[in-house]
Structure 1
Amino acid sequence: MEVTDLRVALFSGNYNYVRDGANQALNRLVGYLMRQGAKVRIYSPKVARPAFASTGRVVNVPSLPLPGRGEYRAPLGIPGKVRRDLREFGANIFHVSSPEILGHRAVTLARNWGKPVVASVHTRFETYPRYYGFAFLEPAVEAYLRRFYRRCDAIFAPSESMAQVLREQRMSYDVGIWTRGVDNELFTPARRDMEWRRSIGLADDEPAIAFVGRLVMEKGLDVFAETIDLMAQRGTQGRIVVVGEGPAREWFEKRLPGNAIFTGFQRREDLGRAIASCDMLFNPSVTETFGNVTLEAMASGLPVVAANATGSESLVEDGVTGRLIRPGANEAFAQALRLYCEDKGARDAAGRAGLAASERFAWDRVNQELVDGYLRVIRLREAGGLPRSKAR
């Protein structure tokens, strides 16, 4: 089988109605598949005003707003009309991108129809309960995820560190890698703009510590704020620049120093300019499976201080392109940021190293790795292979 023989049915709970790294990666994948001659159809909730234009044809699936997080929608399953469309399309592989109701129904349908099915892993859902006071639920969530992923022929992690976690959690017997790429035209040191810095109130010699991403508690906003408090107690000079929007913005604004700068949501060239115009990225999140913003900051020539967790540990080389700090070690986070605030030479050296390291993450190359995975799974199924959970 060749790539031109592929007919991929992609199931996503959020393909383009909210902008985040996961759905942007899925849209890039669809674009790459289509350029290679593959056929793709996407099954996802649709909204009147999506965050960005979708790549490929999207078939709407019924959904409801997610309680407490109305910007997201919960797909309700695969009704008869959508099943008929699937049969007409004639998919030879199903790809599910999230373990909600739509994903479960898609896996069940694929198994009933005898089609291979793969899953891509985009976030560490089992870590979310701890940010909302329900840490005791983590084992149950992990068991739920294990049941979902084990019903797939294979799963794909965005980093080797995340793949190792999935193996240790016994999520699948076949764990591959579909990493993420970076657009080196959008994210480059050349987009650094001193006039833009001045326009938001940054002095030319004032170190800017960036937070980039959706403002939700699971991104480690509490750790970020506590670390900045520790720096202030020791007199370290530096300004916080928050690039992004989200439901926790009001909490974050109250929790950070009064001179923190909130740029709001930025996209494409504006996002590239905002990142390159800062001086370092602080990413304390432990929920990432890859860390798109970490790679984008590296491509922009910024050192990265990050939690030593899945995703970041596959990108950041400790002491070379930035610092990897044990999650929860807020004093160590503060010391690392203090170094880059006070030592421009160390900051510049780490930024150059990060830029060099980012050059190996070309989008076409990483998407071809997943295409190769599709073809391998289909060949295995044609040779009589089955998901291990079904064969037992």
Structure 2
Amino acid sequence: MLSWEYPPLLVGGLGRHVHALATTLAAAGHDVTVVTRQAPGALREEYAEGVRILRAPDDPARFEVHDGDMLAWAMAFNHTLTRTALRAARTGDYDVIHAHDWLVAHAAVTVRDHLDVPLVATIHATESGRHQGWLPHPHNRSIDDIERWLAAEASRTIVCSDYMSDEVQRLFDVPAAGIDVVPNGVDALVWSPRPRAVAAARRRYAEADGPLVSFAGRLVYEKGVQHLLTAVPALRERHPGLRVVVAGDGPYRKDLESLATEGVTFAGFLTGHHLTALMGASDCYVVPSIYEPFGMVALEAAAAGTPVAVADTGGLAEIVEDGVTGVKFPPGDPSALAEAVGSVLADREHARRVARRARRRVHDDFAWPGIAAATVATYDRARADDARRVTREAESVLATTSGRAWSAPGGCP
């Protein structure tokens, strides 16, 4: 597997996804190697949780990211990632390359060609989707091109929802037969908060008698946090003492802080028990995304036992059943968001029933062993597709050679 993030280096949900998938595959008896970025203080190579991990250090030349333009940095990263992956290839017998998103595309195709094994690509999100179909700068259009190229080079493409399947078909002309929908998984036990940690989070973030609402994620425009912040005054008017905690970091943080009113706390980037405790301490967890391919964080909050209110968009629309496992509101509508969250806070007994049903669904439908098994099925299809391609190419060469032989001068073979 190739990924630009992996614990302890985490940027968003992709790194958590790759870690859970890799370790679950390893626990099922598969040999898994993850090649990723070097994290400060982390070992260059190690075996952890059954997974062989190789971390590619940065080359001496530094490429800074300005205004979201990651292309120069990504190209430099792919050089060092490729060298590290080829070093792994010398000591392993691999059946498939699995690339996670455009940031590893060049390394993935290079290693695929070197090993002559099929390439599977997971498209976690698209540049077009992140910008609501608008690609304003040359680097946005280049990323879109790299995503299209990766999808074209892959033997099979994995997406996390029917919504993303439709998007990849529409944007990149990938046939539906070449796409497998495999949802993201959640380890319900990992997201079960400790009672003492929940109590501590409650003391830290909530007022004595007021409800606590939370959000966690990368602070970028498409996550829709601005709409949650706009809804805060109306929520506090209806629910005195209400507080909202925004956990996470990102390029949009300063803009969001400028929108914040009384009752809002920016907690910064939280991981592990700190994030789980915040979710468990909350009376409602909000996912106000404008664009959301899946919405794994909604399932993580549900696993923590917290009622969720989500924007009715993308993958969120598929994984949350309104009034049954959560509540929905139209994306980009602060008034509707306030109504949805308010309905959760106004009827605590109904909210608890919804939360219990959601937690059961996480356990039944999104456990990692099932997700890993579905991913292995994609690997098997990729290998079968690749074998058929090789056979067709061999037959074509044979037919061409045979045709040339029979057309020799004098009619002799």
**TM-score bracket for this pair, using the shorter chain length:** 0.7 to 0.9
Give 1:168 shift.
3.5
Q: 1:93 aligns with which of 93, 96, 99?
A: 96
Preserved contact between residue 245 and residue 265 of structure 2 (Cα < 8 Å): yes
Report the counterpart of residue 172 of structure 1 in structure 2: 174
Distance 2:285 2:2 in 1: 32
Report the counterpart of residue 388 of structure 2 in structure 1: 383
Within-5 A mapping of 1:142-221: 142=144, 144-173=146-175, 174-188=178-192, 191=195, 195-221=199-225
Q: 1:15 to 1:83 in 2, by over 3 A?
A: closer
**Secondary structure of the residue that 1:188 maps to in structure 2?**
coil
Deviations 1:312-337 (A, max 9, x none): 11211012222222222222112111
Report the counterpart of residue 29 of structure 1 in structure 2: 21
Distance 2:204 2:123 in 1: 37
Distance 1:142 1:29 in 2: 26
| 1:366 maps onto 2:364 in alignment | no
Report the counterpart of residue 228 of structure 1 in structure 2: 232
Distance 1:20 1:45 in 2: 14
Give 1:368 shift.
1.6
Give 1:171 shift.
4.6
Q: 1:130 to 1:229 in 2, by over 3 A?
A: farther
Q: 1:132 to 1:200 in 2, by over 3 A?
A: farther
Letter matched to residue 39 of structure 1 = D
Report the counterpart of residue 5 of structure 1 in structure 2: none
Q: 1:298 aligns with which of 302, 318, 339?
A: 302
Q: 1:385 to 1:313 in 2, by over 3 A?
A: farther
**Secondary structure of the residue that 1:384 maps to in structure 2?**
helix
Give 1:209 shift.
1.1
Q: 1:183 to 1:192 in 2, by over 3 A?
A: farther
Report the counterpart of residue 14 of structure 1 in structure 2: 5
Give 1:251 shift.
3.4
Letter matched to residue 58 of structure 1 = L
Preserved contact between residue 154 and residue 172 of structure 1 (Cα < 8 Å): no
Report the counterpart of residue 126 of structure 1 in structure 2: 128
Give 1:280 shift.
0.9
Distance 1:192 1:104 in 2: 46
Distance 2:304 2:119 in 1: 36
Distance 1:353 1:56 in 2: 37
Distance 1:163 1:31 in 2: 26
Letter matched to residue 85 of structure 1 = R
> Which has the larger displacement, 219-228 or 41-50?
41-50
Structure 2 residues not aligned, in runs of 5+:
397-413
Give 1:187 shift.
2.1
Larger RCO, structures 1/2 (Cα 8 Å, 6+ apart): 1
**Secondary structure of the residue that 2:74 maps to in structure 1?**
strand
Letter matched to residue 324 of structure 1 = K
Letter matched to residue 100 of structure 2 = S
Give 1:212 shift.
1.2
Identity %: 23
Deviations 1:281-335 (A, max 9, x none): 1111133322221001111222222122222112110122222222222221121
Name the count of aligned residue pairs: 376
**Secondary structure of the residue that 1:261 maps to in structure 2?**
strand
Distance 2:191 2:371 in 1: 17
Report the counterpart of residue 404 of structure 2 in structure 1: none
Distance 1:378 1:20 in 2: 30
Q: 1:375 to 1:283 in 2, by over 3 A?
A: same
| 1:57 maps onto 2:53 in alignment | yes
Q: 1:338 to 1:139 in 2, by over 3 A?
A: farther
| 1:67 maps onto 2:58 in alignment | no
Distance 1:115 1:327 in 2: 42
Report the counterpart of residue 6 of structure 1 in structure 2: none
Q: 2:336 aligns with which of 309, 327, 332?
A: 332
Distance 1:248 1:266 in 2: 17
Preserved contact between residue 311 and residue 329 of structure 2 (Cα < 8 Å): yes
Within-5 A mapping of 1:216-295: 216-232=220-236, 235-237=238-240, 238-295=242-299
Preserved contact between residue 280 and residue 302 of structure 1 (Cα < 8 Å): yes
Structure 1 residues not aligned, in runs of 5+:
1-9
Larger CA Rg, structure 1 vs 2: 2
If the length of structure 2 is used for normalisation, what is the TM-score? 0.79
Deviations 1:85-107 (A, max 9, x none): 2541343211111213x313422
Distance 1:75 1:44 in 2: 14
